[in-house]
Structure 1
Amino acid sequence: MNGKKILFVSSELVPYLPENQVSLMSYETPRMVNSNGGQIRIFMPRYGNINERRHQLHEVIRLSGMNLVINDMDMPLIIKVASIPKERIQVYFIDNEEYFKRKATFTDANGNLFSDNDERAIFFAKGVVETVKKLNWSPDIIHVHGWMASLLPLYLRNYYADEPLFADSKIVTSVYDKGYEGELDGEMKKKIAFDGISEESIASLSTPDYNNLLKVAVDYSDAIILASEEVSDELKNHIESLSKPVLPYVSLQEAEEAYTNFYNTEVLK
């Protein structure tokens, strides 16, 4: 991975959020690349339950200040950064008062999905791309972890299709069994179509459940990693129908060698 640039875009990341399969692999994968001589950038949402003082987040004024249009509304983009001290890894946080101030990640105190999770996902995808454009950093690989990040492949291949910075970037999506129960907002497809993305290309989002959202992510990815030992048959069958490179599930102990080999031989070939 020496010198290769890899952009990691994740829903969750330790140490900023509790450890689970997504947040742990979102930390371990960039750490592996970093230790093997790759250049990395990590992006995640700045949820309100992340302790800014403890983790020493601070706003980057030169990257903030842009408005992103979400379903015909102007939403200010704020960028914050922090470092994971023991790894010397910098993390960029996508923030907005309306979408990410509340003191929770995806659900309210009763366990109900936030009604605007679909808009938060659109904002996150656009915010990542616009910030990487400001950094003028052209990644060789873009690796997506977690459902809140899963609109990124769609937006890169459609809304940002003519952006030269990403012309040669390969997209990898890690598919986890950990998603969400129920469905996102029923108008999600229309909100994405507002950005000029054809409704035909996101037909599955007529029912915006976890499996259908991940189907859209893998449809617009160049390669797929099965990051959980158990993935639904529905998703597995869809992935198998695509004839794209797939890395089967490997344990954390095997991941460094397997992921590095997959990046080098299947993704960057």
Structure 2
Amino acid sequence: MKVLFAASEAVPFIKTGGLADVIGSLPKALAKQGLDVRVILPKYEGIPQHFVQKMESVAVFDLQMGWRSLFCGILKLEHEGIIFYFVDNEYYFKRNGCYGYGDDAERFAFYCRAVMDALQHIDFMPDIIHCHDWQAGMIPVLYRAHFSYQPPYAHLKTVATVHNLKYQGVFGKEQCKDYFSLGDEHFHGYALEQHGGASFLKGGLLYSDFITTVSPTYAEEIQTPYYGEHLDSLLRSQSHRLTGILNGLDYEEFDPMTDPHVEINYRDSLAKKQQNKVKLQERLGLPVNKEIPLIALVTRLVDQKGIALIDRVIGELMSLDAQWVILGTGEPRFEQLFRWAANAFEDKLSAQILFDEGLARQIYAGSDLFLMPSLFEPCGIGQLIAMRYRSVPIVRETGGLRDTVIPYNDKTGEGTGFSFTHYNAHDMLYTVERAVKLYRDPNVWANLISNIKKKDFSWRKSAQQYADLYQSLVN
């Protein structure tokens, strides 16, 4: 079984969010199942030089995009047993960052065309092209419109995965007609039309053979108006070919036993975890105290992550007998909130308004509790890393958070964290208060850690589900 992943980012080459973690780790898990999985990415300026130096050129060709004849190079690199291809065109990709340019429609139209055109040049004809998020969303459309009737391609199947429905790649209809050489029949309400323009993501949803998203609960949620981002009716109509497969965590990459960023490596030793807490308190300038619970947020400081709830009850949260550490960047109003709180409550809260992977790992290792009060969360990786590092999650029951964190039950002793249902600041406050109180009970805490220990959030099970899905499409 040959599978080609088409995505706009992947660890360790380029990353803006959780998509990159998935594309960096899922192919390795699928390879263990015996599949030949390869990945094709844009060759951005930001890819570290030591990777670029190892790339070898496999093809150079002219690509037709509407009336334009454009240079396209394909480079190749093997990393951790997986072959990665890189689409090279300096005009489109030799820039800082990945997205947010005025010509993103043209840049990712070029990328989608390059993926299809590269197939005859790279000596790899997949059975499945697995397209991730809006940036790769037009590949199934191109396939249906221009390739499906040609013998070498006729057997191909396409899968579209939604990592976050909020981002839909909506651009002008005329641009899309031009870039993809598509007729008017592709641009009405039952096709690409969205908000008066044309949506790359909608193309992926409608023209692919199967749709997946990154947790079972999110797959249900996006079929409702509240979470559906104006695509809920379309998704309900396609529910027979839509499923949610939970993202896993790369257990080799995230392992407190071997993590070079962690001061004192450990697995299940709460004593060693406490030593990491002391080191973290020292580094952050918080009062050193093993007994006080340390609550962490490692997140983008944006509305989606539920920061508005914290804003609403920040005074009450600071009155709890707990310490806080915040790591992340985002909306200026939320950055300002935590800077203010760090000044006003300097013994209680440390605000690190930056992104630092090494510090993030130390926070996972040194914190006792990990807060994720998200408005919506397709899967979430923070709660998975937290549990791997034995930091107990406090989450809102949405998307992948609901699928991965079992609320603690006082009577039965079951559960792996704390959760609240409604997007409500006082429900969150009550749940944090309860977690802080139960932290003081060593039996409860030992039990929680023991429950977390038994959970397996590696990619193994999910990779098997993807492999089964591919098999069902090819048969």
TM-score calculated relative to the size of structure 1: 0.83
Name the residue aligned to 2:87.
94
Assess if the C-alpha contact under 8 Å between 2:75 and 2:85 holds in 1.
yes
Assess if the C-alpha contact under 8 Å between 1:6 and 1:39 holds in 2.
yes
Name the residue aligned to 2:65.
70
Alignment of 1:98-137 (within 5 A): 98-107=91-100, 114-137=101-124
Does residue 248 (structure 1) correspond to residue 455 (structure 2)? The answer is: no
Name the residue aligned to 2:125.
138
Assess if the C-alpha contact under 8 Å between 2:40 and 2:85 holds in 1.
yes
Whole-Å separation in 2 of the counterparts to 1:181 and 1:134: 30
The AA in structure 2 aligned to 1:132 is: L
Rate the CA distance shift 1:187–1:259 in 2: closer, same or farther, 3 A.
same
Shift of 1:142: 1.1
Rate the CA distance shift 1:76–1:226 in 2: closer, same or farther, 3 A.
same
Shift of 1:23: 1.2
- Structure with more relative contact order (C-alpha pairs < 8 Å, separation 6 or more): 1
Name the residue aligned to 2:354.
none
Shift of 1:105: 0.4
Assess if the C-alpha contact under 8 Å between 2:133 and 2:164 holds in 1.
no
Flag the structure with larger Rg. Answer: 2
CA offsets per residue over residues 216-266 of structure 1, 9 Å max, x none? 11211111111255444233431231364222242423412322222233x
Rate the CA distance shift 1:169–1:212 in 2: closer, same or farther, 3 A.
same
Name the residue aligned to 1:35.
32
Q: Secondary structure at the match of 1:93?
A: strand
The AA in structure 1 aligned to 2:96 is: K
Assess if the C-alpha contact under 8 Å between 1:79 and 1:92 holds in 2.
yes
Show structure 1 runs of 5+ residues with no match. 108-113
Name the residue aligned to 2:77.
82
Alignment of 1:1-269 (within 5 A): 4-18=1-15, 20-54=17-51, 56-60=53-57, 62-64=58-60, 66-84=61-79, 87-107=80-100, 114-177=101-164, 180=167, 183-185=170-172, 187-192=174-179, 195=181, 197-203=182-188, 205-207=192-194, 212-227=199-214, 230=218, 231=222, 232-233=227-228, 234-242=230-238, 244-252=240-248, 253=457, 254-265=461-472, 267-269=473-475
| Identity, % of aligned positions | 26
CA offsets per residue over residues 52-91 of structure 1, 9 Å max, x none? 334544241x511x1112231221001122222xx21110
CA offsets per residue over residues 149-201 of structure 1, 9 Å max, x none? 111101111122333222111111101216548843564333245x2x22222
Whole-Å separation in 2 of the counterparts to 1:81 and 1:89: 10
Name the residue aligned to 1:111.
none
Assess if the C-alpha contact under 8 Å between 1:5 and 1:38 holds in 2.
yes
Q: Secondary structure at the match of 2:119?
A: helix
The AA in structure 2 aligned to 1:161 is: S
Assess if the C-alpha contact under 8 Å between 2:30 and 2:37 holds in 1.
yes
Shift of 1:6: 0.8
Instruction: Count the aligned residue pairs.
Output: 253
Rate the CA distance shift 1:73–1:14 in 2: closer, same or farther, 3 A.
same
Assess if the C-alpha contact under 8 Å between 2:134 and 2:168 holds in 1.
no
Name the residue aligned to 2:300.
none
Whole-Å separation in 2 of the counterparts to 1:105 and 1:207: 23
Q: Secondary structure at the match of 2:59?
A: coil
The AA in structure 2 aligned to 1:93 is: F
Assess if the C-alpha contact under 8 Å between 1:68 and 1:76 holds in 2.
yes
Which runs of at least 4 in structure 1 moved beyond 6 Å after TM superposition? 208-211
TM-score calculated relative to the size of structure 2: 0.49
Q: Which stretch of the first structure deviates more once superposed, 47-56 or 132-141?
A: 47-56
Shift of 1:125: 1.5
Assess if the C-alpha contact under 8 Å between 1:223 and 1:244 holds in 2.
no
Q: Secondary structure at the match of 1:159?
A: helix
Assess if the C-alpha contact under 8 Å between 1:211 and 1:235 holds in 2.
no
Q: Which stretch of the first structure deviates more once superposed, 21-30 or 4-13?
A: 21-30
Tell me how large the CA RMSD over aligned residues is. Answer: 2.6
The AA in structure 2 aligned to 1:68 is: L
